[in-house]
Amino acid sequence: MFTNTEVVGIKPDTRNHRGFFIQDGSYKLMGIDDSGWALICVDDATCHYVDPDNLQQFIDEQVGN
């Protein structure tokens, strides 16, 4: 599974806890709360609660690292 503060990606068409689609990209997993929602953040000001089943391991696709 995922560890806290791990960089994760999301599956296509992922929605937040309010039902809005969130942008594809890499997020920092902050943790999973008692109600079962995963808190993911882009930065200190932009975070979303999502279903943990929509998280994916983030793979750096850059070539030549």
Query: Is the model more confident about 3 or about 29?
Result: 29
Q: How far apart are CA 34 and CA 59, in angstroms?
A: 28
The pLDDT value given to residue 38: 96
Strand-pairing partners, residue 28, are: 7, 41
Is 53 strand, coil or helix?
Answer: helix
Is 51 strand, coil or helix?
Answer: coil
pTM for the model stands at 0.80
- List of domains in the chain: 7-57 (2.30.30)
pLDDT tens-digit series, residues 13-65 = 999 999 999 999 999 999 999 999 999 999 999 999 999 999 998 655 433 34
Radius of gyration of the chain (CA): 12
